[in-house]
């Protein structure tokens, strides 16, 4: 009697597996045929001054939102590295956001966190028109910055809101 139930149980399991193969097989075939299971290509980052400053501000604001304060000036880069990448972007591409496209140097941190905001809560700032991140290279008249309120300004204090204004 025991062998009879084992054969019935095995037959039932095989029936269910065969049914799943018949049901799932066409779905998997369609997914492969339409490219849904293909490897996703990584996004390549195209750097510009405004884009880099906005990306750094976004990462700093995400840090502020989770930690309650801006990072300290001496460790701000390491603090925001986990927040700098976007979906589909490799870590190496995300780190290019720290490169200043106005200089020839690659792989060097060319931005500085303003001491006026380092380690502070955003609500404690006297104004949101305070520089958040500035370029640490170049002359004072060519040094760009992004403010806590999101305004991007060049060294001559002209506002820049998009990369199209750079051309």
One domain for residues 81 and 153: yes
pLDDT at residue 21 in the model: 84
Q: Please report where in the chains the tokens 């299971």 appear, as a residue.
A: 37
Determine which of 14-23, 54-63, 129-138, 153-162 has the lowest per-residue pLDDT on average: 153-162
Say if residue 15 is in the same domain as residue 34: yes
Neighbours of 81 (CB within 10 A): 15
**Model pLDDT for residues 63-102, shown as the tens digit of each residue:** 999 999 999 989 999 999 988 877 767 777 888 888 887 7
Q: Is residue 44 part of a domain?
A: no
- Looking at per-residue pLDDT, the higher value among 132 and 48 belongs to 132
pTM for this predicted structure:
0.67
Do 89 and 126 sit in the same domain of this protein? yes
Say how many domains are in the chain. 2
pLDDT band at 43 (very low <50, low <70, confident <90, very high): low
- 27 and 62 share one domain: no
Q: Which three-class secondary structure state does DSSP give residue 152?
A: strand
In a domain, 2, yes or no: yes
pLDDT of residue 70: 94
Alpha carbon distance 151, 83 (integer Å):
20
CA distance linking residue 145 with residue 135, whole number of Å: 6
Highest mean pLDDT among 19-28, 67-76, 107-116: 67-76
Tell me how far apart the alpha carbons of residues 115 and 133 are, in angstroms, rounded to a whole number.
9
Can you tell me the mean pLDDT for 129-133?
89
DSSP for 91-110 reads HHHHHGGGS-TTSS--SS--
């Amino acid at each position: 009697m025991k062998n009879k139930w084992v054969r019935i149980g095995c037959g039932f399991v095989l029936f269910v597996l065969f049914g799943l193969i018949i049901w799932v097989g066409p779905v998997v075939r369609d997914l492969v045929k339409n490219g849904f299971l293909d490897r996703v290509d990584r996004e390549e980052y195209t750097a510009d001054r405004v884009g880099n400053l906005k990306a750094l501000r976004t990462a700093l604001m995400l840090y502020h939102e989770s930690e309650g304060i801006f990072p300290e000036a001496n460790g701000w880069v390491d603090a925001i590295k986990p927040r700098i990448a976007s979906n589909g972007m490799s870590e190496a591409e995300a780190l290019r956001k720290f490169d200043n496209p106005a200089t020839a140097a690659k792989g060097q941190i060319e931005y500085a966190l303003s001491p006026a905001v380092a380690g502070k809560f955003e609500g404690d700032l006297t104004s949101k028109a305070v520089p958040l991140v500035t370029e640490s290279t170049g002359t004072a008249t060519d040094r760009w910055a992004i403010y806590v309120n999101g305004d991007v300004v060049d060294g001559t204090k002209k506002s820049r809101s998009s990369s199209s204004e750079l051309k």
